Amino acid sequence: MNKVAVVGVHQTRFDEHWDKSLRDLAREASLGAISDAGLDNSDIKSLYVGNMSGGRFVGQEHIAALIADHAGMNPIPAVRCEAACASGALAFREAYLAVASGKYDIVMALGVEKMTDLKTQDVITSLMGAGDQEWEASIGLTFAGLYALMARAHMNKFGTTQEQLALVSVNNHKNAVGSPFAQFPFEITVKDVLASPIIADPLHLLDCSPISDGASAVILVTEKLAKTFAKPAWVLASEQATDTLALHDRKSLVEMLSTKIAAKKAYDEAGIQPKNIDVLEVHDCFSINEILCIEDLGFCEKGKGGAFVEAGKISKNGEIPVNTTGGLKAGGHPVGATGIRQIADLVKMIRGECYNRLSVNNGLALNIGGSGATANINILGRELKV
């Protein structure tokens, strides 16, 4: 496999964009990434678009061709990639494989979602398409309900507390302060989280990521081309794994097998261990998921994630900084765009160009689809070897 680097990134603000359409957001992100790389539209050889549910959210299918057209990239091949909330990271992985295989030398991976055009209940129903319709959605379960089951199981087995869950949101909101892209760039307290309405016991409103609009794009190139750019960020590993779609078919409710398998493959591919990772971007769609991610990625023992958070080990100055630009909770979660946004933020930190003033040698991004049926892990670094 050929070596691959990311040389251009851009994202829109994640927010409620009442004045922008899906195509507007995608165009802004794609042209921004092209400009950031110092390239032209005609340089892009192929486009991979992460989008979960454009048909349900805005009534638009055939999204990849629409974006290629609207961003002035016709007649290149354009492919839509779907893996629920992991659609963005899947698009990135497919773009990576296209370059690593030698098929293309310059490609774009873009993620986009326009969610706020529907009523909240309709969004919840659409998102449940990522779960098992026959065994979960049909009996009224939502994703908040699924993750609440996982949270309660973790609390019962390991003594994890609601305060520890709340601290995940507190940390991520603190990290979002000053962000030009975050939906909620302000601090909250544990008291705020626990006083917010219960959505699915034990998860409160402020344990949950928001409904968002937004897009993000990155440009990947071959090793030969990457060496002509000032600050390439190298793809050290890109791995994916799956698990059962339905939660009740899992061996355990307190771990994500897909994450553990993808992590092992990614660490082996990159020749790296968790202790060598400088920064994490993980999928905090609900606060319990950030704790599960930290455990299943190997940064603490199973069951110790709550205490790990409570000890401040995920803060920007902690043992392993996590979601240092706000994560899904404070940064926003336009589902198809999140995986690409995670990559873009890692690239900016590797370049030393992120608003959070972190400058790192490498970072890991974990994008989860559904309740863990898909896990995509990408590791990026400043150098080709750690």
The partner residues of 5 in beta bridges, in order of sequence, read 221, 234
Q: Which two tokens stand for residue 89?
A: 């990271």
For residue 85, indicate whether it is catalytic.
Answer: yes
Residue 8 identity (one-letter amino acid): G
Going through 12-52 in order, the beta strands assigned E by DSSP cover 46-50
The string of DSSP letters for 90-146 reads HHHHHHHHHHHTTS-SEEEEEEEEE-TTS-HHHHHHHHGGGS-TTTTGGGT--HHHH
Residue 125 identity (one-letter amino acid): T
Q: CA 89 to CA 95: how far, in whole Å?
A: 10
**Radius of gyration of the CA atoms of the chain, in A:** 19
Q: CA 130 to CA 192: how far, in whole Å?
A: 30
Catalytic residue among 17, 283, 333, 354: 333
Q: Which two tokens stand for residue 234?
A: 């190298």
DSSP label at residue 14: P
Sequence-separated (6 or more) residues with CB below 8 Å from residue 154: 160, 253, 254, 288, 291, 292, 303, 305, 306
Q: CA 284 to CA 349: how far, in whole Å?
A: 19
For residue 333, indicate whether it is catalytic.
Answer: yes
The partner residues of 313 in beta bridges, in order of sequence, read none
Residue 295 φ/ψ region, left for φ over 0, alpha for ψ in the -120 to 50 degree band, beta for the rest? alpha
Sequence-separated (6 or more) residues with CB below 8 Å from residue 287: 151, 165, 166, 168, 169, 203, 207, 208, 329
Nearest-5° Cα angle at 226, 222 to 227: 125
Catalytic residue among 81, 85, 208, 285: 85
Q: Are 183 and 14 in contact (CB under 8 A)?
A: yes
How far is the first Cα of the chain from the last one, in angstroms, to the nearest whole number? 18
DSSP label at residue 36: H
**Which residues are identified as catalytic?**
85, 333
